[in-house]
A and B are shown apart, each in its own frame.
Chain A
Amino acid sequence: MSLSSTSKIADLLEKNETELLRNWLTELEASGLRRDDLMRSTELNQQCHEFLRMFRSAAQHENFSDVQAPEWGSVRQLLTDISRDRAQQGFTSSEVATFIFSFKKPLFDQLKRELAQQNDLLVESIWTVTDVLDQLGLWTTEVFQQAREKVILRQQQELLELSTPVVKLWEGILALPMIGTLDSARTQVVMETLLQQIVETGSQVVIIDITGVPTVDTLVAQYLLKTVEAARLMGTDCIISGIRPQIAQTIVHLGLDLSGVITKATLADAFAIALKKRQLTIVSKASQSV
């Protein structure tokens, strides 16, 4: 055995590139990974071709044990790009990993044909190839996960921005419709936005509507009281509205003291109180003319 398994593989990749590519594409098609609804087949061909080219040039260095080594840099970069794209296109992580794993069969077939007479070398080669392709496959999964996590993080931030609108109902009357579960990060943002809006609009009355808050626990109640207190310090009255029957019961069961705050069942009731505080009245046109 004059040739080692590593140089054999590099040699084989060099010689049979076209055939390997053709077999790989057939394999990909058979595994059902060709998702024509998500990406064009020319794009897939392009990616396979590119991968094979880079894999070949990396294989020239005959270092198959560690894909984190610098000679695998361009392969990793390519896989990072492919994986990230696919995460956004809506592929699953196994579909992305199968892209690499499906390359095993054509490569094994080729090895079997080449080294039919040298069993030891064949087994050794297959092991080397499996090792490197597994590592690359895991790499794609890792990148895929990171890309997904980035998407989730961005969505969280967007949600945070979306979920804290402060609405001006009338001259001097603000409303804060709160939607969704309150956690400490969100409550901080809500509180700051509200107080900032109070300063900017010079409002005297604020209605905090908690219709969209699914549960009220001690933490949420404490936060509500804090907001009311802070608003009061700035010279603004607070009304809490949208307390559903279950929530009212929870508040009583928890023994929370909201007695210092004006509370109302609906936003409409709270608005009526706010108008009264501002010494405004709404009169029906019909009753006026009669």
Chain B
Amino acid sequence: MERIPILQMGQFLLVTIQVDMHDRLALALQDDLTDRIVKTSASGVLIDISSLEIVDSFIGRVLGNIATVSQLLGTETVIVGMQPAIAITLVELGLSLSGVRTAANIDAGMRLLQISLGAPFHGGLDANP
């Protein structure tokens, strides 16, 4: 069965969703990610959904769940790169993912994680001195 890869970058986990999510894939990701967080004791998770073009109420809820579960496990979670159409759909569905942190792109998301973990951030395209 196909799975969404979870990459480790130092103390962070990076999940890039490159394919259209279907229900089983989303649930598998939720299981895999929680396992990995516990195993690696990562301090931050970035979920990049910039390639996600379609979302329904189930996927929206699972995304919210993934973020909430990660936060429960003590991991800062940031969802990055949401497309306008997805944002409108989620709001219309009443799934505004309150409590989940968001950022425009991976770079901004990484900086957000660094800041919230108190670590200095180096690099990035428009990093302010």
Task: Flag whether A204 is at the interface (Cβ < 8 A).
Answer: yes
Q: Interface size (A, Cβ < 8 Å)?
A: 19
Are A198 and B104 touching (Cβ within 8 A)? yes
Task: Flag whether A102 is at the interface (Cβ < 8 A).
Answer: no
CB-contact partner of A233 in B97, B108, B128, under 8 A: B97
Interface 0/1 of B73-112, CB less than 8 Å to A: 0000001111110111011100011000011110011000
Given contacts A229-B91, A229-B96, contact A235 B84 (CB under 8 A): no
CB-contact partner of A235 in B82, B90, B96, B128, under 8 A: B82
CB contacts between A and B, total, < 8 Å: 56
Are B84 and A279 touching (Cβ within 8 A)? no
Q: Which of A22-30, A147-155, A161-169, A188-196 contacts B (4 or more CB under 8 A)?
A: A188-196
Which residues of B lie under 8 Å from residue A236 when comparing CB positions? 104
Interface of B is mostly: mixed
Interface residues of A in 164-219 (CB under 8 A from B): 191-192, 195-196, 198-199, 202-204
Most chain A CB inside 10 Å of its own CB: which residue of B81, B96, B103: B96
Interface of A is mostly: helix
Task: Flag whether A234 is at the interface (Cβ < 8 A).
Answer: yes
Are B87 and A192 touching (Cβ within 8 A)? no
Which residues of B lie under 8 Å from residue A203 when comparing CB positions? 104
Are A192 and B102 touching (Cβ within 8 A)? no
Closest to A230 in B: B87
Task: Flag whether A276 is at the interface (Cβ < 8 A).
Answer: no
Are B103 and A235 touching (Cβ within 8 A)? yes
Which residues of B lie under 8 Å from residue A231 when comparing CB positions? 87
Interface 0/1 of A221-241, CB less than 8 Å to B: 000001001111111100000
Which residues of A lie under 8 Å from residue B97 when comparing CB positions? 233
CB-contact partner of B104 in A196, A202, A226, under 8 A: A202
Most chain A CB inside 10 Å of its own CB: which residue of B83, B104, B105: B104
* In the bound complex, CA of A226 to CA of B88 (Å): 8
Q: Can you give 30 A-B contacts (C-beta < 8 A)?
A: A192-B84, A192-B88, A195-B84, A195-B87, A196-B84, A198-B104, A199-B83, A202-B104, A204-B104, A226-B92, A229-B91, A230-B87, A230-B91, A232-B96, A232-B102, A233-B79, A233-B86, A233-B87, A233-B91, A234-B83, A234-B84, A234-B102, A235-B80, A235-B81, A235-B82, A235-B103, A235-B104, A235-B108, A236-B104, A279-B128
Closest 4 CB pairs of A and B: A195-B84, A235-B103, A230-B87, A235-B104
